[in-house]
């Protein structure tokens, strides 16, 4: 494929830990595309648009804490990002900044590799939970959200999702249980009381933790109850694959990009 030299980056703060440059550079090299993907530590989200244009970038990914600022910086928002109001991919298209969210479809792809998901239960009610609830609803999946406290659940009940705080938990059946809380990220905490989790797992088929590169207490517990379990690395892989394809006008084959990007996880 012939293109003129293109420069891409990930914007975030912090950004040094990001595996995205490795993933995207493997794909660029593997596909023989003349381009390079780097990282940029952005302190102020309000500077995102100015920096993007000044650096003459063809596309960027955006990580914590700038996904809402990225949404605001775009000329046009496409797909599920309109509903989520958070953007993790921007493409420079004919002088305009086009924003997408590929975290949500990346997660959906990873979940569907387990099997058909007709009902999902999401633990946590933050940014990731909103994104996943939106993509599952769009996909026709029944969504339940469980959170430690009431406050953040209002967003979900206002949008007619089934929303429960720990105290108001009711037994229900779900194909998939997802942990989107940060419990287990830097501690050994479970994302909900043990008895609640036991009940959830005993009425479910699969479990995914969006945390990656470690086996969290949530994953250990699900495994112990006999559920097939995944961490968030596959979500990370597929959000990158979908973003990379957006960078090139969705003209590439996802399987091919996936093959090259997987090398970043070895």
- Return the residue nearest ligand NAP (CB atom): 126
Instruction: Give the DSSP letter string of 229-255.
Output: EE-THHHHHHHHHHHHHHHTTT-S-HH
- Closest to ligand NAP by CB, 76 vs 187, is 187
Question: Is 207 near ligand NAP (CB under 6 A)?
Answer: no
Establish whether 67 is a catalytic residue: yes
Q: Answer yes or no whether residue 240 interacts with ligand NAP by CB under 6 A.
A: no
Compute the distance between CA of residue 72 and CA of residue 127 in angstroms, rounded to an integer.
16
- Across the chain, where does the E strand assignment appear? 6-12, 35-41, 59-62, 76-77, 89-93, 96-100, 119-123, 142-147, 162-165, 176-179, 206-209, 229-230
Query: Residue 27 corresponds to which tokens in the numbers above?
Result: 């794909």
Determine if 245 is a binding residue for ligand NAP (CB under 6 A).
no
Among 180, 197, 207, 242, binds ligand NAP (CB under 6 A): 180
The answer to the question of residue 210 lying near ligand NAP (CB under 6 A) is yes
Question: Is residue 257 within the footprint of ligand NAP (CB under 6 A)?
Answer: no
Taking CB under 6 A as the criterion, the residue among 85, 212, 220, 265 binding ligand NAP is 212
For the chain, how long is the longest CA-to-CA vector?
Answer: 58
CB closer to ligand NAP, 96 vs 151 = 151
Q: Which of residues 89-108 bind ligand NAP (CB under 6 A)?
A: 103
Task: Evaluate the omega torsion of the peptide bond into residue 65 and state whether it is cis, within 30 degrees of 0.
Answer: yes
Sole window of 20-28, 94-102, 230-238, 247-255 interacting with ligand NAP (rule: CB under 6 A): 230-238
Range 35-64, binding ligand NAP (CB under 6 A)? none
Active-site annotation holder among 2, 51, 56, 67: 67
Whether the link from the prior residue into 14 is cis, omega within 30° of 0, is yes
Residue pair 200/175 in contact by the 8 Å Cβ criterion: no
Residue listed under structure tokens 């969705």: 250
CB of 95 to ligand NAP, least distance (A): 30
Of 181, 207, 216, 245, the residue at the interface with ligand NAP (CB under 6 A) is: 181
Q: Does 237 bind ligand NAP (CB under 6 A)?
A: no
CB 83 within 8 A of CB 105: no
Q: Which of 6, 66, 109, 148 touches ligand NAP (CB under 6 A)?
A: 148
Q: Which is nearer to ligand NAP, 7 or 162 (CB)?
A: 162
Pick from 128, 125, 107: nearest CA to 162: 125
Min dist. Cβ of residue 135 to ligand NAP (A): 13
Of the pair 97, 129, the CB lying nearest ligand NAP is at 129
Which one-letter DSSP state was computed for residue 203? T
Active site residues: 67
Residue ranges in contact with ligand NAP by CB under 6 A: 103, 124-129, 147-149, 152, 180-183, 185, 189, 191, 210-212, 232, 235-236, 239
């Amino acid at each position: 494929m012939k293109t003129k030299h293109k420069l891409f980056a990930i914007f975030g703060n912090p950004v040094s830990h990001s595996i995205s440059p490795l993933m995207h550079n493997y794909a660029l090299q593997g596909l023989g595309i003349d381009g390079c993907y780097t990282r940029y530590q952005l302190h102020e989200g309000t500077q995102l648009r100015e920096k993007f244009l000044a650096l003459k970038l063809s596309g960027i990914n955006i990580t914590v804490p700038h996904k809402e600022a990225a949404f605001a910086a775009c000329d046009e928002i496409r797909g599920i990002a309109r509903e989520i109001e958070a953007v993790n991919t921007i493409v420079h298209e004919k002088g305009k900044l086009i924003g997408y969210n590929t975290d949500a479809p990346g997660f959906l792809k990873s979940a569907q590799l387990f099997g058909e998901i007709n009902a999902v239960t999401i633990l946590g009610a933050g940014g990731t939970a909103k994104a996943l609830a939106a993509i599952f609803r769009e996909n026709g999946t029944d969504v339940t959200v469980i959170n430690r406290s009431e406050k953040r659940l209002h967003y979900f009940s206002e949008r007619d999702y089934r929303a429960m705080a720990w105290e108001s938990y009711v037994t229900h059946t779900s194909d998939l249980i997802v942990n989107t809380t940060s419990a287990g990220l830097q501690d050994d905490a479970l994302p909900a009381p043990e008895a609640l989790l036991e009940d959830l797992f005993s009425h479910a088929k699969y479990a995914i933790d969006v945390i990656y590169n470690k086996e969290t207490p949530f994953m250990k517990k699900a495994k112990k109850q006999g559920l097939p379990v995944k961490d968030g690395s596959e979500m990370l892989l597929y959000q990158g694959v979908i973003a990379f394809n957006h960078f090139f006008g969705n003209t590439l084959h996802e399987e091919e990009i996936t093959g090259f990007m997987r090398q970043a996880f070895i």
